[in-house]
């Protein structure tokens, strides 16, 4: 009997890594599904379905994030609740929320005019804008090799733009604006919430940013998207599925943030970067298969060059740390 104990312990030791791997694979799969799902559903609602209210759609997303963030942190305790310690800190969070709103709204507007494949190609240039804002706002200098890797990042998008059959100038400007705002939020977050007493993990930051975003977006949607509530009710009378689409889409927007937090927590930064690049490529393939938007060899070549540039940029930053 005693001789069997080591064997039993070895057996348990073999099972745990498998369970850990299965858990990580499940997290990554959930992250991929929620990210790609919300992107495709946004495109479907705003472009194919004809729900032309991107600000109201973003307001629904933020309202869901407000409620679900509170439930996840307070009741399910997925992370310790961090409190806002001062009015100054709240003001910083509000500033980040304003930029975050601009990023999401601009991204949703761009999906009305651009295919998901091109949207993802432009979105891949986030490292370029992050490097620019970091240099301008913090005078942070990277090694020349790191800056050199940004050349293919930008060049790829230029090539993809020239080869995009569905290119739309306003949609392109909105997409660039969304990408730049996303990068600006990242840099500002590092500046504004840099002290140990003010640092918040991504789920707590979302908990406080989402209600502020609703307060900012609600008057904007009522002014800029006239009678949007009445029109949505009218759409629901004609096809009640719109209500289910909005509810599911809003919950999915929260799970994008939740799964991103969990994947970040359970994997390394390098793994996260590789998975993120692969996610973007998969989103392009799935969107083309679903929406059948035309793609060209030139466009795919440009996107590939951009992704390669992002990979080189990540590798250069890692080596120069």
Tens of pLDDT along the chain (321 residues) come to 444 444 444 444 444 667 778 888 899 999 999 999 999 999 999 998 889 999 999 999 999 999 999 999 999 999 999 999 899 999 999 999 999 999 999 999 999 999 999 999 999 999 999 999 999 998 888 889 989 999 999 999 999 998 899 999 999 999 999 999 999 999 999 888 888 888 899 999 999 999 999 999 999 999 999 899 999 999 999 999 999 999 999 999 999 999 999 988 888 666 777 788 888 889 999 999 999 888 899 999 999 999 999 989 888 887 876
Q: Which positions ≥6 away from 186 have C-beta within 8 Å?
A: 130
**Contact between residue 193 and residue 199 where contact means Cβ atoms under 8 Å apart:** yes
Q: Return d(Cα 32, Cα 48) in angstroms, integer.
A: 22
Model confidence, pTM: 0.88
Residue 211, Cβ density class (10 Å: 0-12 exposed, 13-18 middle, ≥19 buried): middle
**Contact between residue 206 and residue 65 where contact means Cβ atoms under 8 Å apart:** yes
Q: Which positions ≥6 away from 141 have C-beta within 8 Å?
A: 135
Q: Which positions ≥6 away from 287 have C-beta within 8 Å?
A: 39, 40, 43, 115, 116, 117, 120, 293
Count CA atoms within 13 Å of residue 127 on its CB side. 28
Q: Return d(Cα 211, Cα 65) in angstroms, integer.
A: 8
**The two structure tokens encoding residue 82:** 């961090």
Q: Return d(Cα 124, Cα 308) in angstroms, integer.
A: 10
**The two structure tokens encoding residue 143:** 């090694």
């Amino acid at each position: 009997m005693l001789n069997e104990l080591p064997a039993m312990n070895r057996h348990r030791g073999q099972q745990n890594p498998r369970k850990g791997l299965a858990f990580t694979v499940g997290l990554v799969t959930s992250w991929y599904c929620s990210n790609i799902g919300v992107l495709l559903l946004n495109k479907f609602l705003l472009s194919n379905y004809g729900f032309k209210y991107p600000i109201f759609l973003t307001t629904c997303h933020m309202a869901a994030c407000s409620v679900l963030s509170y439930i996840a942190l307070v009741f399910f305790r997925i992370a310790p609740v961090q409190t806002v310690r001062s009015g100054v800190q709240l003001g910083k969070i509000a500033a980040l929320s304003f930029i975050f709103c601009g990023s999401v709204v601009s991204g949703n507007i761009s999906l009305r005019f651009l295919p998901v494949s091109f949207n993802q190609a432009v979105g891949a240039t986030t490292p370029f804008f992050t490097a620019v804002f970091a240099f301008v706002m913090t005078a942070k200098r990277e090694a020349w090799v790191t800056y050199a890797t940004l050349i293919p990042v930008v060049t790829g998008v230029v090539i993809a733009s020239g080869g995009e059959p569905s290119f739309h100038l306003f949609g392109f400007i909105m997409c660039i604006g969304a990408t730049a705002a996303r990068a600006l939020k990242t840099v500002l977050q590092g500046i504004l919430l840099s002290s140990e007493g003010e640092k918040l993990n991504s789920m707590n930051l979302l908990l406080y940013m989402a209600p502020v975003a609703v307060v900012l977006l609600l008057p904007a949607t009522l002014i800029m998207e006239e009678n949007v509530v009445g029109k949505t009710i009218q759409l629901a009378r004609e096809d009640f599925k719109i209500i289910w689409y909005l509810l599911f889409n809003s919950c999915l927007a929260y799970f994008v943030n939740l799964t991103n937090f969990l994947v970040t927590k359970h994997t390394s930064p390098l793994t996260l970067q590789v998975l993120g690049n692969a996610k973007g490529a998969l989103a392009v393939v799935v969107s083309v298969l679903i929406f059948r938007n035309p793609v060209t060899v030139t466009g795919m070549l440009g996107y590939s060059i951009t992704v390669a540039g992002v990979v080189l940029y990540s590798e250069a930053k890692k080596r120069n740390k």
